[in-house]
Each structure stands twice: as C-alpha cells, then as structure tokens.
Amino acid sequence: MTGRELAAELAALWTQHHADTDSRLAAIDAAAAALLAGGLDAARRESARVAAHKLTGALGTYGMAEGSRLAMELEDLLRAAEAPPVLRVAEIATRLREIVASGPPGATSGVTEPRLDVAFATAPGPGTRAVVEAAERAGIACAVLASPDELERHLASAGRARLVVADTAMARWEDLLAGLAMRQPAVPTVVLAARDALPDRALMSRLGARRAIPRDLPPDAVAAALREVLAEIEMGEPRILAVDDDPLMLSALTRVLAANGIQATTAPDATRFWAMLEQVAPDALVLDVEMPGIDGIDLCRALRAHLRWGHLPVLFLTSLADAEVERRAFAAGADDYLRKPISADDLASRIRNRLLRAGRLRDGSRRAGRAAPAAREAATTVDVAMIDDDPTLTALVSHALGTRGLTSRIFGDATSALASLAPAGDLGARVLLLDVDLPDLDGLAVLRRLAESGVTSMTRTIMLTVRASEREILEALELGAVDHVAKPFSVPILMQRIRLALIR
Amino acid sequence: MIPADILRIVAVGELLLAVALGVTLLIAASWRARSDRRQRADMARGRPIMIATVARDLTASEVAALERLGRRTQVRLLAEIAPSLSGERRARLGAVAVRLGIARSAESACRSRRWWRRLQGARLLTLIGAGDEVMPALLGDGHPLVRAQAAEWASDHPTAATLRLLVALLDDPHRIARFAVQDTLLRVGHPAIGVLAEGLLRMSARGIEAGLAVASRVVDPRLIPIAAALAEHDLGDVRAAAARALGAQGGEVAVQVLTRLIEDEDPRVRAAAAASLGRLEHWPSATRLLPLLSDPSWSVRRESALALRAMGAPGAVILRTALTGEDRFAADIAAQALALRLGPA
C-alpha cells in the first residue's frame, strides 16, 4: 500500500469514526466547561481523562502529531492531584477541536492510484505480450517495464507492483534481483528463465527469487504460476492480534499494518481474547494497557502462563508515559513497550523485528507450522547462553529472557560451559553473557579459548561483570566480545543490548 | 384684447434684454477666465514662497511678493499648505499669516454679527492656529456650526479653561457641536480626562452619554469610579454607556460592575455589559455569559456570543456547550459565533 493509498484509507476511516472522536471531544468540553464553572467532579474528570487518553493514540496514529501531544498533556493535567489549570484545559479542548476539524494530513485527497499485481522486467515482444494478456485474463493487473531504470521509477511510485517478474534474457538480471531483495521491505520476485537455464536456479534462489518459471510454458500456465505466487505473498504476511478498546485506533492500526505487509486482527476488548487467539493464531500480540475490565498487563501475565501461547511476542501500544507502568509491563513479560503516537513505519518495523527475533516471520509456507507450540528448550542452539556463578542473577536474567520469548542456557562454571559451547559441544548460542569472576576460570580466559576455537565468530559475547576498568574492557573487546555491561545493571538495558547483539 | 403695437414694443424690449443679458454673460465669463488665469499665476508665484516659509525666514522681497498676491490668493495658499503641516512648521506658517495681516482680519471676522462671517473667521484661525483671544468665546457662540468650529480649533489649544468649556459643550443640544467636542476631547486625550471626569457627574443625561462615549475610547483609571457610579443611573442609556466605558478601562471594579450589569433589566445594558466583558477578554466571566445566549433580546444574545468568541478558548468551550444545549436560540447564536471564529478572516 502506498503512502497516498494509506492516507486516503486513513481519511476514510477518520470519517467513519468521527462520532467516536466527537463524543471524546464532548467529554473533554464538558470537563472544561465544568472547570470554568468551578464544579469539575471526579466522574467528569475521569471521563475527560479517558477521552484524552484515547485521543492521544488515535490522533497520533492518524498523523495528527500536535493533537496527540496536546491530548497527552491534557491527560497528564487531569491525572495530576492538583486542580487542572482552567485556561490551559480550555485551550487544549479548543485546539483539539480545530485539529480534529481539519482532519488527518492528506485527507483531502480521496484519489488512490490502483496498485499493480505484477511488473514484468522484460523486453516487450510478442511472447511477453501473450503472457501479459493471459495474466490480465486471470485478473492480474500487469505492467511491462523494459529497463531497470523504468522498474526503479515504478517501484518508487504509488502504484508499485506486489511482485516483480525478472526475465533472465535481460542484461544484468542478477543485479536486478539482488537489488530487489535488498530493498526495504524486500520486493518479492520470480524469474522467467529458459529451460536450459536450470543450473542457474540455485543462484536465483540465493538472490531471493520465489520461483523460476520456464519461459516457454504456455501463457496461461505462466499466469497460473503467477497467481500462485501472489497467493503465497498474501498468505506469507505475518498476523498480529491487537486488543484495544478504541475502535478508531484499531481501524487505523489495521490499515497502517496492512500497508506494511502485516495482517492485523483486532478485538475491542479482552472478553473473546482466548477464542480469538485460537481462531487467528497470531504471530504476535499488540495490547493496550488501559482497557475496561481486565487490563493489558494482566492479560500479558495470563498469556505468559499459558502453555501454548506463552511464547508469543507481546508489544504494548499505549499513550501512558508512566515509567512504573512500563516497568510493570516488562515485569509481566512484555517484549516491547511502544508509546502512542507512533509512526506507521516505526510500528511496523518494531513488530517485524519482534517477529524476526521470535522466528515467526518466515516465507509463505510457514502457515503449516503456525499452530505448533514452540519447543525451543530442546533445541541445540539457544538465543542466549550465560556463564555466571551468581544464581540470583542468573535466575533474574533467565526469567527476563524467557518472558521475551528468548531461549537460554545457564552455566554456573566455565568448565561445563566451554565443554558445551566448543565446536564439538552440544550447544550453540547466538549470544553469550560472560562473567569475568568465575570460580574455576577467569572469564577473559574463557573468552580467549572460545575465540581460539572460532566460537566467537558465531556467538556474540557480552561481558557482564563488576569489573569495568578500561584495560579489561579493551582486552575483552580485542578478544572478540561485542559489548560490555557493568554490574549492577538494568534488566531492560541488558535486554536491549542482547536484542542488538541478536540482530547484528 | 391687447393691441398689436404694445405686443411689438414688448417683443422688442425682450429682445434688447436678451441681447444685454448675453453680452453681460460674455463679459462676466471673460472677466472670470481672466481672473482665474491671474490667480493661477499668482498661486504659482506665491506657492514656492509659502513653502519656503516652513523651512526658513522669508526675505523682505519675498514678504513683499506675498503681500502683492491679494488676500484671496493668500488664504487659498494657506488653505492648500496648512493641512499638510503640524507643530513648528505649522507655527511658522501661522506667523507668516499674522505678518500678512490675515490673522487680524480673521479675528475681526470672528466679531462679526453675521454667523457665517464668524464661521469664516473661525475656520481661518483654525487653519493658521491663531486666535487665542477671540476663539474661546466662540465656544459659546449662538450658532452650532460656529461652536463646532471653535471646538475643532480647541484641539490645538487645550488649555484648562478651554477644556472646561469643551466639556460643558458635551451637553450641547445640537449633535454637530457635541460630535465636534467629542472628537476634540479624543484628540486631546489624557489631558482632557481629569476635566471630563469632573464634569460628567454634573451634566444632563445627554451630556453624560456623550462624555461616556469619549470615556469608552480612552483608557484612564480616573474614569473607572465615575463610570461605576454612572452604572447606577436611572436611565438605561446612561447605564449602557457606562458599561461601554468600563469595557475600555478594565480592572477588578470594572469587571464587578459589568458582571452585575449583565443581569440588568434593560436589554441595551445587558448587551453593552456583555460586549464589554468580551472587549476585556475576561474569560473567567465566560460561564456567566452562558445564560445570556438564551436571552429574549437578540442583541444581548449576539453580543454575548461575540464576547465569548473574543474570550478565546474558554469562550469557545462555553459556545460549544450552548451548541449542544436544548435552547435552539442559544445553539443558533453559538453556531454563528463559532462559524465566525472558524471561518475565513
């Protein structure tokens, strides 16, 4: 989905949900009027605070950053113990009205450019024309782009195709495929190749092509193959389940994520949460913190205790900027805590990264295994291995890793760890947390041995120690450590460092 | 039946009269054209000298050249140049007029028994800024146009005595004289306020209204107690004028009085008080204006809505409250005010 399409969809949604926004603004107006009259009661104040809270997320999601900021300020004013400043509340109420009246940016343009299904990067000719005609008969919207420059311009346009067909008859088709694979987000590709070019299939696969279609197939057969790939692309989109009591927010979230290749199923409350989990089988959850009845944090805690769904990445999306709430969310097992407003691209990137880390974002065929519970404890490769002789600390880190969907193995001494992590050992780790003061062997010596055996080329090591002298840090880094965290440490910061190490 | 001879004589007589009239008109037109040509030439000669007056002292030959121009041309030159000058330059021009004897003849005209001659003299003295001896007396002239002209002259001569006379003239039965006095008092500004404040309490309702109209255009704390006292006047027109005057002053006392006046029995007073609260942008009064949006008087509803609009965000909140209320008159006027607020400038 292009930016213009998204803007138009958001504008349409905005119009549909105008009544919700009006009711929230009315609640804020009522509170402001009562405040002016000197009679703001607790119920009206709370109602306005909730309305401001909802507007914070909704306005930000719809691109009205100023409105979101003002709503957040209003929520803070109404939450504070002292009486809210009358004039400021009235100013915010009035400005919010003006912002809402002007609508989301880009809302004036209702014209959307139709999006193509397939772009053929091939020289025009009778053969190409026949394939295009067959594809169009099959309901596939096509365009023929004769050069890489034309393709580049097309991909930068609003109506860019969902799939690119590269013809190996074109010069430098390998570069073309490589470039498309490196785009963010990657552009799905298939290759039209001569039958005698089958040895090139390995190369095509490495370059990210989803399929190689023989060029001499009948046009209808090529069209059928393209339809299959397009269906795979549709199926290949990750799914998330979003629970939020703000319908405006949910609608926007659905469109915003769809524009970034993520299918979002939404629920306005937690009453049907478990049934929807079974029905949707999501790859991740997006939860609001404040909801009627059970709140998002309780829901997250309950989820973590669930045998089947306990591994799901959970992202909180809330307008609450309270550090205590954030701490509670992480303590309950949250993987990420996102504050509204958040841009569509940021949100999609955060969800995608989370899915990647959790190993849930795979190619189109992943659906078959979607419902299978994760059994990563039995795997020979873990996300994090930790060598530390402090059981309290290792329990804390182990819990934090587990609640984030990361597998771990804890070693209390260096000897057993080296035996397991050695190339001939039974364990591979993507990240190693290594203490220096170990009972049997110095941590730096452990690191040296791991480096000598080539383990550090595959395992990123983070030194975790009370020692933080410059010399020791430098020595560790020279031996191949990628980071150093001094004790005592903040668990969220350590988790962030681990996350960074995992994606390097 | 009239005899034919008599008819013939009458016809010849009429013919002769027509010829004589034609010849006279021709001569008059010729003389007028010649006179205009001469005056244009005189004006062209005198203009550079008169303009030079404002920059430097004239030489004897230049003064003599001006004296030769004749009174009519001299006055026309003065009338042409004086309105574009002020201060010292205007005084220099006045000094030349005195030297040419124009001031003396104007003062003489001011003592004429004919009102139009007095008016002519007063205008000339106003133009050249002279006439300190004769003009104050004209503030009590029998003709309103002369009094009005004298009031205009007084704006450049605001002595205490003149100001007292001016303030007394606020009670003038003729609108043109009152208007000239109001205009002069506004031009004089703060130096006139003390005299105005003293005089307001001793006037008739007509004078008080005219004085309060001046007070509503000048910000001076000395006016607040006077306007507050006049807000208790028996006449609604006076109370409304007092409300408007208080709207120009502001302050706690003014707001207290205005807050009371929005509940006055006279709709003109309520409307004026609401408008004044809006003029003061006194947003804490916004909720008090909410009931006025339902007032039976359209002008009260309108002024209240506009006042709320002027109060900014708090006023807008109240207008939106009225928008969703049950009173459709209040909702209608609130919608109009909000539309004005959100509409193009």
pLDDT digits (tens, 9 = 90+) for A141-180: 887 777 777 777 777 765 677 788 888 877 777 788 878 7
Q: Which residue has the higher pLDDT, B133 or A428?
A: B133
Report pLDDT for A159: 64
Q: Which residue has the higher pLDDT, B294 or A191?
A: B294
Report whether pLDDT(A310) > 90: no
Reported ipTM: 0.70
Helices and strands in chain A: count of H runs, count of E runs: 20, 15
For range A198-206, the mean pLDDT: 66
As a whole number of angstroms, the distance between CA B138 and CA B140 comes to 5
**Is B160 in contact with B189 (CB distance < 8 Å)?**
no
- Tell if the CB–CB gap between B320 and A95 is shorter than 8 Å: no
As a whole number of angstroms, the distance between CA A472 and CA A444 comes to 8
Please report which helix (H) or strand (E) contains residue A240, including its range: strand A239-243
Specify the range with the lowest mean pLDDT, choosing from A338-347, B58-67, B74-83.
A338-347
Q: Which residue has the higher pLDDT, B78 or A139?
A: B78
Specify the range with the lowest mean pLDDT, choosing from A12-26, A110-124, A417-431, B178-192.
A110-124
Report whether pLDDT(B13) > 80: yes
Report cis status (omega within 30 of 0) of the bond before A423: no
Specify the range with the lowest mean pLDDT, choosing from A115-119, B5-9, B32-36, B63-67.
A115-119
As a whole number of angstroms, the distance between CA B106 and CA A206 comes to 109
- Tell if the CB–CB gap between A33 and B342 is shorter than 8 Å: no
Specify the range with the lowest mean pLDDT, choosing from A189-198, B101-110, B176-185, B212-221.
A189-198
Question: What share of chain A in percent tops pLDDT 70?
Answer: 81
Report pLDDT for B114: 95
Report pLDDT for A443: 83
- Minimum CA–CA partner of A31 in chain B: B317
The set of residues, in sequence order, having a beta carbon less than 8 Å from that of A91 and lying 6+ positions away, is B312, B313
- A22 in B contact zone (CB under 8 Å): no
Confidence of residue A235 (pLDDT cuts 50, 70, 90): low
Report pLDDT for B289: 95
Tokens 């010292």, residue located: B88
Which residues on A lie below 8 Å from B316 (Cβ)? 90, 93-94, 97
What is the separation of C-alpha A173 from the centre of its chain, rounded to a whole number of angstroms? Answer: 31
CA angle A79, A84, A88 (to 5 degrees): 115
Beta bridge pairs of residue A434 = A387, A463
**Is B310 in contact with B279 (CB distance < 8 Å)?**
yes
For range A392-413, the mean pLDDT: 79
Integer angstrom CA distances of residue A470 from A473, A475, B258: 5, 8, 74
CA of A91 vs chain B CAs: smallest distance (Å): 5
Phi, psi of A140 (to 5 degrees): -100, 125
For range B301-323, the mean pLDDT: 94
- β-pair type (A460-465, A428-434): parallel
Q: Which residue has the higher pLDDT, B224 or A451?
A: B224
Per-residue pLDDT reduced to its tens digit, B147-169: 999 999 999 889 999 999 999 99
Edge-first strand listing for the sheet containing A428-434: A408-411, A381-387, A428-434, A460-465, A481-486
- Tell if the CB–CB gap between A94 and B283 is shorter than 8 Å: no
Report pLDDT for B146: 96
Q: Which residue has the higher pLDDT, B283 or A297?
A: B283
- Minimum CA–CA partner of A23 in chain B: B324
Q: Which residues of A450-460 are buried (b: 16+ CB within 10 A; e: fewer)?
A: bbeeebbeebb
CA of B300 vs chain A CAs: smallest distance (Å): 21
Most confidently modeled range among A234-238, A266-270, B37-41, B255-259 = B255-259
Report pLDDT for A217: 82
For range A231-247, the mean pLDDT: 76
Tokens 């309270």, residue located: A322
Which residues on B lie below 8 Å from A30 (Cβ)? 321
Which residues on A lie below 8 Å from B286 (Cβ)? 36
Report whether pLDDT(B229) > 90: yes
Integer angstrom CA distances of residue A212 from A44, A139, A165, A284: 64, 21, 9, 32
CA dihedral defined by A280, A281, A284, A289, rounded to 10 degrees? Answer: 60
Q: Which residues of A371-409 are buried (b: 16+ CB within 10 A; e: fewer)?
A: eeebebeeeeebbbbbbbeeeebbeebbebbbbbbbbbb
Name the average pLDDT for chain A. Answer: 77
Query: Tell me, what DSSP letter sits at residue A283?
Result: S
Which residues on A lie below 8 Å from B318 (Cβ)? 33, 36
**Is A61 in contact with A17 (CB distance < 8 Å)?**
no
Report whether pLDDT(A371) > 50: no
In A78-125, which ranges are E strands? 118-121
Q: Which residue has the higher pLDDT, A64 or B335?
A: B335
- β-pair type (A263-267, A284-287): unpaired
Q: Which residue has the higher pLDDT, A158 or B279?
A: B279
DSSP assignments along B264-287, one per residue:
-SSHHHHHHHHHHHHHTT-GGGHH
For range A381-409, the mean pLDDT: 79
- Tell if the CB–CB gap between B317 and A87 is shorter than 8 Å: no
Report whether pLDDT(B214) > 80: yes
Report pLDDT for A196: 62
Confidence of residue A377 (pLDDT cuts 50, 70, 90): very low
Report pLDDT for A115: 60
- Tell if the CB–CB gap between B324 and A94 is shorter than 8 Å: no
The set of residues, in sequence order, having a beta carbon less than 8 Å from that of A432 and lying 6+ positions away, is A384, A385, A386, A387, A421, A450, A459, A460, A461, A462
Integer angstrom CA distances of residue B39 from A262, B48, B69, B74: 93, 15, 8, 10
pTM of the full structure: 0.56
Q: Which tokens go with A449?
A: 């041995």
Report whether pLDDT(A468) > 70: no
As a whole number of angstroms, the distance between CA B214 and CA B308 comes to 25
As a whole number of angstroms, the distance between CA B109 and CA B121 comes to 5
Report pLDDT for B230: 94
Report whether pLDDT(A449) > 70: yes
Q: Which residue has the higher pLDDT, A173 or A469?
A: A173
Report pLDDT for B111: 94
Question: 3-class DSSP state for residue A318?
Answer: strand
Which residues on A lie below 8 Å from B284 (Cβ)? 36
Q: Which residue has the higher pLDDT, A134 or A424?
A: A134
The set of residues, in sequence order, having a beta carbon less than 8 Å from that of B143 and lying 6+ positions away, is B115, B118, B119
**Is B97 in contact with B130 (CB distance < 8 Å)?**
yes
Q: Which tokens go with A440?
A: 């049997």
- Tell if the CB–CB gap between B316 and A90 is shorter than 8 Å: yes
Report pLDDT for A447: 85
Which residues on A lie below 8 Å from B342 (Cβ)? 98, 101
Name the average pLDDT for chain B. Answer: 91
Tokens 């804890």, residue located: A410
Report pLDDT for B343: 43
Question: What share of chain B in percent tops pLDDT 70?
Answer: 98
Report whether pLDDT(A181) > 50: yes
Report cis status (omega within 30 of 0) of the bond before B158: no
Report whether pLDDT(A249) > 90: no
Report cis status (omega within 30 of 0) of the bond before A105: no
- A69 in B contact zone (CB under 8 Å): no
CA of B337 vs chain A CAs: smallest distance (Å): 14
